[in-house]
Amino acid sequence: MAPQKLNLVSAAAHQIKGVWQPHIAGDVNDAQVKIARFGDVFDWHAHDAEDEAFLVLKGRIAIDFRDGTVELDEGDFLVVPRGTEHRPRSLTHEPIVMMVEPATTLNTGNAVTNKTVTKLNRLHF
């Protein structure tokens, strides 16, 4: 059977009901493509052993660092190097963001908070 395509924005809009709840869109070797709706402000955290990539699909976000902030518009892409403390936040209502990271990466990195998700759902076609 041929692979099926998935519209990430539409799938997120219809299948992801809450903010800060990453869903798996697909697996690529040892990495996962994850989609989430972002809420107001996430927790400060770092991923000690993994880089984390962000691509804004819909809306606008900011990623705060201890020494500044990077704002991302639709289509903007940013890699946060491993070990870099950061805090994502929304600049528009529930933006939709794609993240690419190793499958074992915990969404809150080295911090365990009420936003930590240990079992991710998958988006379906």
Residue range 32-45, pLDDT digits in tens: 999 999 999 999 99
Q: What is the percent of the chain where pLDDT is above 90? A: 92
| CA 6 to chain CA mean position, Å | 17
Strand 77-80, strand 23-28: pairing: unpaired
pTM: 0.93
Q: Average pLDDT for residues 21-38, to the nearest whole number?
A: 96
Domains and CATH numbers, the chain: 8-122 (2.60.120.10)
